[in-house]
Chain A
Amino acid sequence: MTTIAARRTHVPFWLVVTVAAALWLVAWFAALPLSIWLAFEVLGLEPGTQLGEAVAFFLYDVPKVLLLLTGIVTGVSFLRSFVAPEKVRSALAGRNAVVGTAAAAGFGIVTPFCSCSAVPLFIGFLEAGVPLGVTFAFLVASPMVNEVAIVLLWGLVGPQLTIAYVIAGLIVAIFAGLLIGRLGLERYVEDYVWKIRAGSVAIDDHPTLEVRLRDAWRSTLDIVGRIWKWVIIGIGVGAFIHGFVPTELVVKIGGEDNPLAVPALVALGVPLYSNAAGTIPIIEALLGKGLPVGSALAFMMAITALSLPEMMILRKVMKTPLLATFVAIVAAGIVVIGYAFNWLT
């Protein structure tokens, strides 16, 4: 979120937006026929063969996902510019556990978050009188239900699993928030945290629509510029799995017959943090090969919610018992959700 525009463009703003939207739509509808044409006409591959299917999968998914990312992330960043984080904080201050935790989990979705905001956010929330459990609900929900993960899931895996993911994420966040609130762990917050007084930042609260949209676009370029390589690598690996890995193998390793699949995938998800972009295309391909939904969800949630760098950063503000409790509760919640979905589907 930026508050001030850097340069003035000479082309009228509405023209830029209209042309960009039109180009986006053309590219969106051209991606599928173009990928089929490229794979089977230009490259001369046979439809139905392993290589042909893998290449067609790759050529369609790359433009589709990059288009979805640029389009939706710009839209979300634009809408978000209307939600001031300071207001979220004051809305959560002094709430009781149940309402506050549910609201924090919900707000976690609509407010921007990166692991580098975790420490100031934690201090800022506690300073404003937001209960510890409610603060944790926010810390769990915010990275888990983020727009990049949702766009990729929706575009690659489909709406059903995306909705399941969001609901499961909210359940884990609310559960973690309520439990941590109930345990009374305030003494494990580093002492200096309670002494900090928050100030207020003087920024332009009412930028024009043009400034909001331009900032949204710049922040999207920043995000997509960071992850596009991983998306392409992930889709490449996914395409390989799609074309060449036998279904029986995936079912045997990740399926219901392997009771350790869910915890193993959760453990695997932790070091993969910040690579949701590269992992979701692989999950898509594995789902197509018979990986159960619960295992896939647990893997996704572990990747986004449990991150090693974030834990190290959070250690600055909380003592080890609190940090360990937080990680254990979130990991346990994810594992339970994974088993539950595997059992239900």
Chain B
Amino acid sequence: MAELVEVLGPGCRRCSELLERVRDLATSEYPAIETRYVTDPAEIVGRGFFMRTPALVIDGTVVATGRVPSRTEISAWLQAPKEVHP
């Protein structure tokens, strides 16, 4: 089970869509997961995501960049982050 889920994006529509999907899943199925929305451009660039937003980072591992993954995908990552990350 994932612990910390981060959505990186400077507040555009696609970023907030991704955030909503993650928060939705977290509250309904994984209440223990902490979600964090990173909108500060300095942090986004500082972590290297300058052309890859929106980005989804689970427990420090980048799982998706530049797109909004489906709920099924996000759910699989939340359940078993270690397994799917090579």
Contacts known (A124-B45, A218-B67); A201 close to B62, Cβ less than 8 A: yes
B66 at the interface (CB under 8 A from A): yes
B76 at the interface (CB under 8 A from A): yes
Interface pair B50/A4, CB less than 8 Å apart: no
Q: Which residues of chain A are near B31, meaning CB under 8 Å?
A: none
Interface pair B50/A116, CB less than 8 Å apart: no
Q: Which residues of chain A are near B77, meaning CB under 8 Å?
A: 6
Interface pair B67/A1, CB less than 8 Å apart: yes
A257 at the interface (CB under 8 A from B): no
Interface pair A199/B46, CB less than 8 Å apart: yes
Interface size on A, residues (CB 8 A): 44
Q: For chain B, residues 27 to 86, give those with C-beta under 8 angstroms from any C-beta of chain A.
A: 41-42, 44-55, 61-70, 72-73, 76-77, 84-86
Contacts known (A116-B12, A121-B50, A204-B86); A222 close to B67, Cβ less than 8 A: yes
Chain B residue nearest to A123 in the complex (CB): B45
A115 at the interface (CB under 8 A from B): yes
- Distance between A187 CB and nearest chain B CB, rounded to angstroms: 19
Q: Which residues of B come within 8 Å of A, CB atoms?
A: 9-15, 41-42, 44-55, 61-70, 72-73, 76-77, 84-86
> What are 21 A-B contacts with C-beta separation under 8 Å?
A4-B84, A6-B72, A6-B77, A6-B84, A86-B48, A86-B51, A115-B12, A116-B9, A116-B13, A116-B14, A117-B52, A120-B41, A120-B51, A200-B48, A201-B55, A203-B62, A219-B66, A222-B67, A222-B68, A222-B69, A309-B12
Additional pairs, 13, CB under 8 Å, beyond known A2-B63, A309-B12, A316-B10: A1-B65, A1-B66, A1-B67, A2-B69, A4-B63, A4-B85, A117-B50, A117-B51, A120-B41, A121-B51, A123-B45, A127-B45, A201-B62
